Amino acid sequence: MLRSLPHERWLAGKAGLDTGRVPMAPYMRLADSGGTAPAGDEAWTCLQLVHIHAARDHLVLMHPDQLRVRDEEAASLYAAIEPLLREADITLETPNAARWYLPEAVFGPLDATTPLRATGRNIDIWLQAGERARDWRRLQNEIQMTWFDHPVNQAREAVGELPINSVWLYGGGAMQPVPKLADAVLTSDPFLTGLGLAGGSRVAAMRPDLRACRPKARSWRCWTAPPKPISPRTGACGSSACTPWMPTGSPRRCRRWATAALKPSRWCSAARTTSPNSRCAAPTCASSGAAWASAATGARCCPTSPTPPEPPHTQKKQTAP
């Protein structure tokens, strides 16, 4: 039984890690600490704050991102279970509100499923397995009872939010050297962020406008705008007055467009004035020195023209007099 999702195993394989039991925790710990967590040889495991929904005859794990745990909520919940942890001689690291970490030696190596793999499913077959799994389940039950009627959860339920009623253990392993995946990594995924930091890549959060693919009027559209002027040499618009567009298409075309927009080879100089039907359709801006997106990406940008031209599919055809 595979206890992780394909993209999680793919990332592990690219980094030269075990794809059967993906050691996500040490790299997520590195990411959540902002790259300051000491590597060392100690193995770590992740304790994810989750909501487990009680269905008619089984329990279902909800997607962790639905919780959006706040820092003050995490601090209050941690304080409630601190006596339990002290009694069991367990020390937790809490660099992130939704993800806590403890040494893997506390419960030993367990066969554990990642939360995304078990999301929306009956958790019976995805529960942790191993020599000390029963010890872990005992602590998990005690945490659930402590949080059941906690003021934090009462406040969340009062405003229609899911209560934080359990924890999920997964991702155990030790930090290992990994290759540099890329010069720059743009992601909001903690595992990929940790792999990038461990490999020496420049890591930044994915720009929200590059992920803006959403249905609108029974079609899909993509758009993006550079957050600041960038040198034309890099192949990006030199002005904030940039309104890209994409004709009606599928989500796959939308993703393909977003990828193509990052390739410098797709851009041409504003000094080149061309007709709307050619590869680089741009108004005359020869003196601006800005860069222009090609028609392949569907972008238009002109520093001297605050209103971008209409996309070709909306322009009216001109008839000869």
Q: Which DSSP string corresponds to 224-266?
A: ---SS---GGGTS-SSS-B-----SB-HHHHHHHHHHTT-GGG
pLDDT at 296: 34
d(CA 168, CA 182): 31
Spell out the per-residue pLDDT of the chain, length 321, in tens. 899 999 999 999 999 999 999 999 999 999 999 988 876 789 999 999 999 999 989 999 999 999 999 999 999 999 999 999 999 999 999 999 999 999 999 999 999 999 999 999 899 999 999 999 999 999 999 999 999 999 999 999 999 999 999 999 999 999 999 999 999 999 999 999 999 999 999 999 887 766 555 444 333 333 333 333 333 333 333 333 333 333 334 444 444 434 444 443 333 333 333 333 333 333 333 333 333 333 333 333 333 333 444 444 544 555 555
Read off the tokens for 96: 């992130």
45 Cβ contact partners less than 8 Å away, ≥ 6 residues apart: 25, 101, 102, 103, 104, 106, 107, 110, 112, 169, 170, 171, 172, 173
Using a 10 angstrom Cβ sphere, with 0-12 exposed, 13-18 middle and 19 or more buried, the burial of residue 236 is buried
- 219 membership: H or E segment, kind and range: strand 219-222
Residue labelled with tokens 């799994």? 133
The helix (H) or strand (E) run that includes residue 172 is: strand 166-174
Nearest-angstrom CA–CA distance, 106 and 89 = 9
**Single-letter amino acid code for the residue at 245:** W
DSSP 216: E
Residue 306 to residue 240: CA distance in whole angstroms: 9
H or E stretch at 213: strand 213-216
Give the C-alpha separation, 12 to 16, whole Å.
6
DSSP assignment, residue 298? Answer: T
Model-wide pTM > 0.75: no
**Burial call 155-186: b when 16+ CB within 10 Å, e when fewer:** ebeeeeebbbbbbbbbbbbebeebeebeeebb
Q: What is the residue type of 293?
A: A
Place of tokens 């000491």: 38
Give the type of residue at 80. Answer: A
pLDDT of residue 299: 38
pLDDT at 163: 97
> For residues 90 and 32, is the Cβ–Cβ distance under 8 A?
no
For residues 8 and 14, is the Cβ–Cβ distance under 8 A? no
Smallest Cα–Cα separation from 137: which of 102, 90, 169?
169
Closest by alpha carbon to 196, among 182, 177, 176, 175? 182
Q: Rounded to whole angstroms, how far apart are CA atoms 195 and 178?
A: 7
